[in-house]
Chain A
């Protein structure tokens, strides 16, 4: 059992593996990466746990391991000790356990420009024109922020309903915001719609706003989608905060 006791490497790897599995199982991973990563995270976490267990088992099987370690001068450590770099693996564990980092919110969004960049090949919104009747249309903030600027004709005079969090701006203005992920939060892009006509709810509050298309605001770097809001409803954050 002495050999098992000394296996710091196994301990650290088990914790890393367990943390990754826990992220994948609990849906917490959705704060950091796209939904498609779930199975890869599960697999990686399980492989790490198996690796650590195998290492501990190998230790217990061959107790008298002194001879080989002794002569190896270039071997700074047996593998029971931990290379210095590996201690750094405890930092993300610390961050997860203690800081419990939230999904990206207004702080990250306000560092990006609210301007909707022109899509290279716009997603068609022809079904809007085909269904001229009906109450407010539920749209992703991501789609609205682009169409409201680049597909004006089909949006004019229609009412829409968007769900996102509140990003305050200057002079009491605020944006309904959603972050878009492709892979992980490092590539997050903010999609923002200026909400007009209603007082700003608290920062980072999730809301569903309903209102009518409005003429985009001009900025130096381009146009920002806008909505004349008639009603604001506070909602709970969706399981996947990203679009």
Chain B
């Protein structure tokens, strides 16, 4: 059996002996069944506080909304790992990394769905030998420029096709800039943990597919929960009325809406509608909201930390945020 190698070395339950796992299994089973049968009675009266219940609704909502996309993502990434030979990417992408970046950015169009799906897929691309710069460009462009997201943007801003154009242009530009920036600064660095290729020779393709999907889901799923908890907390803490105070100042409003996009972690298919409702803000600030959301938010940071390592996430998120804000300002000034 191909043993899926754990990308996260430190996270581990040491005992592999049957007895330990057996206890864990039995305990988990009893816990889950017990909760299902008696949970509400045992904890009756504990979770009655309104804020706690609103938090729980937000938390479950973000998790439930993202889960199908995560499943789609791990399904695709497992399929890439199991069925697409590395030689395919070698042929499909230009040899020179600097040229591979724009091609990868543009191919983000083909992955429908929100940002949760693109993390496992780009990890699979890296493990299949695609240059990290190109995989990163794909990671950033896919959730922002796919047809579903652009269509929902068009619906949210009826009669204003320039908003759709500005969003697509800004998102592609950012993904290429970050990709090239990676080529300049990130090469040879130790802080990107490239997910290992788990393809053991001599194992059946279906077996590879099954085990890498299972492994990816368990990892990414856990980090999705962390991200959803963060998003729910911020959703409950940050009152939207604070926003009105800064709406009139262009620079400040762009920054604040960018930060809001990071904190709220709204799915990229829905963020255009929220942006449309923030009508006290300038178009440029709302563009920043739509451009930042799909590429850096608390849920994504958690997912990326789980997939590419915390050291990567801690550098990648601020860099992406700063460049996204600058590009939004530029594109907003030019197109909107």
Instruction: Kindly list chain B residues whose C-beta atoms are within 8 Å of the C-beta of A16.
Output: 67, 221
Query: Is A25's beta carbon under 8 Å from chain B?
Result: no
A58 to B215, CA, bound (A): 14
User: B53 and A187: CB pair below 8 A?
Assistant: no
Query: Is A65's beta carbon under 8 Å from chain B?
Result: yes
User: A54 and B274: CB pair below 8 A?
Assistant: no
User: A20 and B67: CB pair below 8 A?
Assistant: yes
Binary interface encoding of chain A residues 15-30 relative to chain B, with 1 for a CB under 8 A from any of its CBs, else 0 = 1100010010000010
CB A171 to nearest CB in B, in angstroms, measures: 18
Query: Is B271's beta carbon under 8 Å from chain A?
Result: yes
Query: Is B240's beta carbon under 8 Å from chain A?
Result: yes
A84 to B7, CA, bound (A): 12
Query: Is A80's beta carbon under 8 Å from chain B?
Result: yes
User: A75 and B5: CB pair below 8 A?
Assistant: yes
User: A83 and B56: CB pair below 8 A?
Assistant: no
Q: A183's contact among B1, B31, B65, by CB below 8 Å, is which?
A: B65
Which of B51, B214, B265 is the most central at the interface, judged by chain A CB atoms within 10 Å of its CB? B214
Instruction: Kindly list chain B residues whose C-beta atoms are within 8 Å of the C-beta of A112.
Output: 239-241
Q: At the interface with chain A, which of B81-89, B175-183, B228-236? A: B228-236
User: B57 and A185: CB pair below 8 A?
Assistant: yes
CB B212 to nearest CB in A, in angstroms, measures: 10
Q: B3's contact among A79, A87, A88, A96, by CB below 8 Å, is which?
A: A79
Instruction: Kindly list chain A residues whose C-beta atoms are within 8 Å of the C-beta of B271.
Output: 187
Q: B222's contact among A23, A32, A44, A86, by CB below 8 Å, is which?
A: A86
User: B274 and A83: CB pair below 8 A?
Assistant: no
A100 to B39, CA, bound (A): 10
Which of A5, A97, A112 is the most central at the interface, judged by chain B CB atoms within 10 Å of its CB? A97
Q: A104's contact among B3, B54, B239, by CB below 8 Å, is which?
A: B54
Instruction: Kindly list chain B residues whose C-beta atoms are within 8 Å of the C-beta of A237.
Output: none
User: B25 and A11: CB pair below 8 A?
Assistant: yes
**When A5-B22, A120-B279, A187-B266 are in contact, do A113 and B241 touch as well, CB less than 8 Å?**
yes
User: A33 and B64: CB pair below 8 A?
Assistant: yes
Instruction: Kindly list chain B residues whose C-beta atoms are within 8 Å of the C-beta of A55.
Output: 210-211, 214
Query: Is A9's beta carbon under 8 Å from chain B?
Result: yes
Query: Is B225's beta carbon under 8 Å from chain A?
Result: yes
**When A74-B5, A87-B222, A182-B270 are in contact, do A41 and B68 touch as well, CB less than 8 Å?**
yes
Instruction: Kindly list chain B residues whose C-beta atoms are within 8 Å of the C-beta of A104.
Output: 54, 57
Binary interface encoding of chain A residues 175-210 relative to chain B, with 1 for a CB under 8 A from any of its CBs, else 0 = 000000011111101000000000000000000000
User: A118 and B279: CB pair below 8 A?
Assistant: yes
Instruction: Kindly list chain A residues whose C-beta atoms are within 8 Å of the C-beta of B279.
Output: 117-118, 120
CB A204 to nearest CB in B, in angstroms, measures: 9
Instruction: Kindly list chain B residues whose C-beta atoms are within 8 Å of the C-beta of A186.
Output: 58, 61-62, 65, 231-232, 235, 264-267
**When A75-B6, A88-B226 are in contact, do A93 and B56 touch as well, CB less than 8 Å?**
no
**When A8-B24, A48-B71, A187-B274 are in contact, do A101 and B2 touch as well, CB less than 8 Å?**
no
Interface of B is mostly: helix
Number of residues from A at the complex interface, CB < 8 A: 82
**When A6-B18, A113-B240 are in contact, do A72 and B5 touch as well, CB less than 8 Å?**
yes
User: B269 and A94: CB pair below 8 A?
Assistant: no
A97 to B14, CA, bound (A): 30
User: A85 and B222: CB pair below 8 A?
Assistant: yes
User: A84 and B12: CB pair below 8 A?
Assistant: yes
Query: Is B93's beta carbon under 8 Å from chain A?
Result: no
Binary interface encoding of chain B residues 1-40 relative to chain A, with 1 for a CB under 8 A from any of its CBs, else 0 = 1111110110111111010011011101101100110011
Query: Is A13's beta carbon under 8 Å from chain B?
Result: yes
Q: A78's contact among B3, B207, B213, by CB below 8 Å, is which?
A: B3
Q: B214's contact among A77, A79, A103, by CB below 8 Å, is which?
A: A79
User: A79 and B4: CB pair below 8 A?
Assistant: yes
Instruction: Kindly list chain B residues whose C-beta atoms are within 8 Å of the C-beta of A83.
Output: 6, 8, 11-12, 215, 218-219, 222
A85 to B159, CA, bound (A): 45
A51 to B206, CA, bound (A): 12
Query: Is B157's beta carbon under 8 Å from chain A?
Result: yes
User: A13 and B1: CB pair below 8 A?
Assistant: no
Query: Is A233's beta carbon under 8 Å from chain B?
Result: no
User: B270 and A85: CB pair below 8 A?
Assistant: no
Instruction: Kindly list chain A residues whose C-beta atoms are within 8 Å of the C-beta of B232.
Output: 186
CB A213 to nearest CB in B, in angstroms, measures: 23
Instruction: Kindly list chain B residues whose C-beta atoms are within 8 Å of the C-beta of A93.
Output: 32, 35
**When A87-B222, A90-B32, A113-B240 are in contact, do A108 and B54 touch as well, CB less than 8 Å?**
yes
User: A92 and B225: CB pair below 8 A?
Assistant: yes
Q: List 14 A-B contacts (CB under 8 A).
A: A44-B68, A47-B71, A55-B214, A58-B207, A72-B5, A74-B196, A76-B12, A83-B12, A85-B8, A98-B47, A107-B50, A185-B62, A186-B65, A186-B266
6 extra interface residue pairs, beta carbon distance < 8 Å, beyond A41-B68, A186-B231 = A48-B71, A51-B214, A69-B16, A76-B14, A108-B57, A186-B235
